[in-house]
Chains A and B, each alone.
Chain A
Amino acid sequence: MGLLSKKDAKLITDPLADNNPITIQVLGICSALAITAQLKASIVMAISVMAVLGIGNVVISLMRNIIPSKIRIIVQLVVVAALVIIVDQVLKAFSYELSKTLSVFVGLIITNCIIMGRFEAFALGNGPWKSFLDGIGNAAGYGLILVIVGFFRELLGSGTLLGFKVLGDPIEKTGLYAIGYENNGFMLLSPMALIVVGIIIWVQRSRNKALIEDH
């Protein structure tokens, strides 16, 4: 066995599929709808959340025995807020254009339910190493869905991927556009992100019937 024990590896792989924060727990939907019109923004958002959740989980885990349980939500908020501000400043310093695209949604990572959820559900009761893995795993599960949604929305909505015109030029009428193809403007609107997430949920649950909730 390599770096991770089987149990530890499960902390990372579980949230990628069978316990995905977006498609199974249905958390963090707001940001998944808001920033996935472009693949690049989705990737940056995924990395930002991974940084915040990975570090935040470790910090909370280290402090878990000294936080009075009555004020633990406030402590958690302070930790997330501090980390989000750091991420925001880094983005502004090194990639200003992108931080403008993401605009308020970087700040709103604070309100991302996945983060507070993992603090409450995992970091408060587990050691720092495990918490770190859990944080990375959940952020990766979140990021995976963001990237899938961003891929389809940018490809079908703008005909580009990461800004490259993969389907041809809509104004010059080259590539697919020469035969009459047009971009689907609906893909750029938020409702379509919800529908794409819904389709992912549908596909996932019909492949693994155990995930279907019974009502």
Chain B
Amino acid sequence: MSLKNKLHVLKRKFRSSKYAPAFNALHTFLYLPDETTHGGTHIKVADDLKRTMNTVIMAMVPCLIFGMFNAGYQHHLATGAIDAVSGGFFSSEFWTLANFSIGFWKILPLVIVSYGVGLGIEFLFAIIKKHEVEEGYLVTGMLVPLIVPVDIPLWMLAVAVAFGVVIGKEVFGGTGMNILNPALTIRAFLFFAYPTWMSGDKVWVEGAVERANEIAAGANLDAISGETILGSLAQGKDFAYSTADMFLGFIPGSVGETSTLLILLGGLFLIFTKIGSWRIMLSSALGAIVMGLIFNQVADAGIIGEGSKFYGLMNTPFWHHLMIGGFAFGTVFMATDPVTASQTNKGKWIYGFLVGFISILIRVFNPAYPEGVMLAILLMNVFAPTIDHYVIQGNVKKRMKRLKAKVA
């Protein structure tokens, strides 16, 4: 008997019990449902929620795989085992099995914990609240491992995921009802709860924290570290990465956010499949460029001197801002979340623009929170319904005027 049939039999067996939603979810996750909707009118389209979610996950897979290679690469680079990449995207120093295996064994547990805890809570809530399991966590579960430092302790991730899913989503009524992006809620929780694990120059390189502890305990080892570009700039230090490194992603950072190129490819894929909103992606890039240009002008005009602690980030060429930190990743995969973004087309332009604008603003003026993108998106998530409200009211007013003109 095939797995499909076995699941089907189990589903029938537990049909009237309270565990029915759990078996139903497993069955429909793996196979096409074998029953159709009964009665009433309903719209039938090919891309249901599950397919939408799977498309986004597919768009993220290149970032995940690159992240695995990069975790090993940063580790080996910091220990001095290999040289920095020299031959562009397909450099032989980067795509080695040694790099991949370090990243794979480090990042796979992150993915498992993220999905295990998150889906566990979703199943639990579905059983308690007696509804079918919703697919909402599929994307969140993949986003979470991509936006945390590679060395984050697994129990912290589990606590944060539990918090994010329960407080960020389930209390509002589950998938589709949440105000804040759950993945960013999880990251924000980690950021404020365990700041030492989310910033600094150790957490981005696999094994750096462990090694620092060993050195503190008396081991005879060289300390390894890798400061992110944003971190260096915020402290007014120089960094040794070229623009090509930034664009291709050979830099320290959260697991999946480093490669602007692959994020861009994922973004194009989302736009092509009409899952992600190109309006939001484009307008937030615009917002970031405008804010970056303003800061460049301020720095050029000499209003902020070189002694100022804001100078380093202000003087960064505006187009660098699009490639460093989590800006690209946040814009493509998080700001476009259809639940928490603005729904109206005009609203999407405003929402996206402000996401980009505020990201760079926070980045420059608050070096304590070098990653402005997370906070900017969360802030705009809160304002998205307000933006939509005014866009709709504006439209109503316009049409009322037109109607009056016609009558008169």
- A-side residues, CB < 8 A to B, are 180-182, 184-187, 189, 195, 198, 202
Q: Is the CB of B171 within 8 A of A202?
A: yes
B171, A186: Cβ atoms under 8 Å?
A: no
B193 touches A186 (CB 8 A): yes
Q: How far is the CB of B203 from chain A (nearest CB, A)?
A: 13
Q: Which of A180, A181, A185, A198 contacts B193 (CB 8 A)?
A: A185
**Contact assessment for A186 and B167 in the assembled complex, using a CB-CB cutoff below 8 Å:** no
Q: Is the CB of A185 within 8 A of B192?
A: yes
The answer to whether B153 and A180 have CB atoms under 8 Å apart is yes
- How many angstroms between the C-alpha atoms of A136 and B159 in the bound complex? 38
In the assembled complex, the CB of A119 is this many whole angstroms from the nearest CB of chain B, namely 34
Contact between A195 and B167 (Cβ–Cβ < 8 Å)? yes
CA distance in complex: A202, B173 (Å): 13
Cα distance, A187 to B193, chains bound together (Å): 7
- 3 nearest A-B residue pairs (beta carbon): A186-B193, A186-B192, A184-B193
The residues of A that contact B192 with a CB separation of less than 8 Å are 185-186, 189
Determine the chain A residues whose CB is within 8 A of the CB of B195 once the complex forms.
185
Asked if B194 and A198 make an inter-chain contact with CB atoms under 8 angstroms apart, the answer reads no
A186 & B156 in contact (Cβ 8 Å cutoff): no
Closest residue on chain A to residue B196 by CB atoms = A182
Q: How far is the CB of A102 from chain B (nearest CB, A)?
A: 24
Q: How many residues of B contact A (CB 8 A)?
A: 13
Q: Identify 6 residue pairs between A and B in the complex whose beta-carbon atoms are under 8 Å apart, listed by A's number.
A: A180-B155, A182-B156, A184-B193, A185-B195, A198-B167, A198-B171
Give the docked Cα–Cα distance between A187 and B159 (Å).
Answer: 13
Contacts of A189 in B (CB 8 A): 192
What is the CA–CA distance of A187 and B195 in the complex, to the nearest angstrom? Answer: 12
Across the interface, A186 reaches (CB within 8 A) one of B153, B189, B196, B197, namely B189
Which residues of chain B are within 8 angstroms of A187 by Cβ–Cβ distance? 193
Taking CB atoms, residues of chain B closer than 8 Å to A184 are 159, 193-194
Q: 0/1 per residue, B172-191, Cβ < 8 Å to A?
A: 00000000000000000100
Instruction: Collect the chain B residues with CB atoms within 8 Å of residue A195's CB.
Output: 167
The interface residues of chain B, by DSSP majority, are classed as helix
B252 CB, nearest partner CB in chain A, Å: 22
A180: chain B residues within 8 A (beta carbon):
153, 155
Q: Mark B189-227, 1 if CB is under 8 A from A, else 0.
A: 100111111000000000000000000000000000000
Question: Across the two chains, which residue of chain A brings its CB closest to B194?
Answer: A182
Question: Smallest CB-CB separation from A195: which chain B residue?
Answer: B167
- Nearest residue (CB) in A for B171 is A202
Roughly how many angstroms separate A180 CA and B195 CA in the complex, as a whole number? 15
Q: How far is the CB of A205 from chain B (nearest CB, A)?
A: 12
When distances are taken between beta carbons in the complex, the residues of chain A under 8 Å from B155 are 180-181
Q: Nearest chain A CB to B216's CB is how many angstroms away?
A: 11
Residues of B within 8 A of A198 (CB): 167, 171
B159 CB contacts on chain A under 8 angstroms: 184
Contacts of B171 in A (CB 8 A): 198, 202
Residue of A nearest to B128 (CB): A206
Q: Which residues of B contact A181 (CB under 8 A)?
A: 155
CA distance in complex: A195, B167 (Å): 8
Q: Report chain B residues within 8 Å CB of A202.
A: 171
Q: Complex Cα distance A128/B192, Å?
A: 48
A168 to chain B, nearest CB (A): 16
A186 to B185 Cα, complex, angstroms: 12
Which A residue's beta carbon lies closest to that of B191? A186
Query: With contacts A184-B194, A185-B193 known, what are 8 further pairs, Cβ within 8 A?
Result: A180-B153, A180-B155, A182-B194, A182-B197, A184-B193, A186-B189, A186-B193, A202-B171
Distance (Å) between the CB of A16 and the closest chain B CB? 25
Q: Of B153, B171, B193, B197, which is in contact with the most chain A CB atoms at under 10 Å from its CB?
A: B193
User: Smallest Cβ distance from A154 to chain B, in angstroms?
Assistant: 15
What is the distance, in angstroms, from B368's C-beta to the closest C-beta of chain A?
13
- Per-position contact with A for B356-381: 1 when CB-CB < 8 Å, else 0? 00000000000000000000000000
B109 to nearest A CB, angstroms?
A: 15
Distance between Cα atoms of A189 and B196 in the complex (Å): 16
B138-158 CB contact bits vs A (8 Å, 1 = yes)? 000000000000000101100
A187 to B194, CA, bound (A): 10
B382 to chain A, nearest CB (A): 13
CA distance A35 to B192 in the complex (A): 19
Closest-CB distance, A204 to chain B (whole angstroms): 14
Mask of B46-81 contacts with A, CB within 8 angstroms, 1/0: 000000000000000000000000000000000000
A182-B189 Cα distance, complex, nearest whole Å = 14
B196: chain A residues at CB < 8 Å are: 182
Chain B contacts for A182, CB-based, 8 A:
156, 194, 196-197
- Tell me the smallest distance from the CB of A175 to a CB of chain B, in Å: 16
Q: Nearest B residue to A184 by beta-carbon distance?
A: B193
Q: How many Å from the CB of B128 to the closest CB on chain A?
A: 10
Q: In the complex, what distance in Å separates the CA atom of A198 from the CA atom of B156?
A: 22
Contacts of B189 in A (CB 8 A): 186
Q: Which residue of B lies closest to A202 (CB)?
A: B171
Q: Is the CB of A185 within 8 A of B194?
A: yes
Instruction: Report which residue of A182, A186, A202 has the largest number of chain B beta carbons within 10 angstroms of its beta carbon.
Output: A186
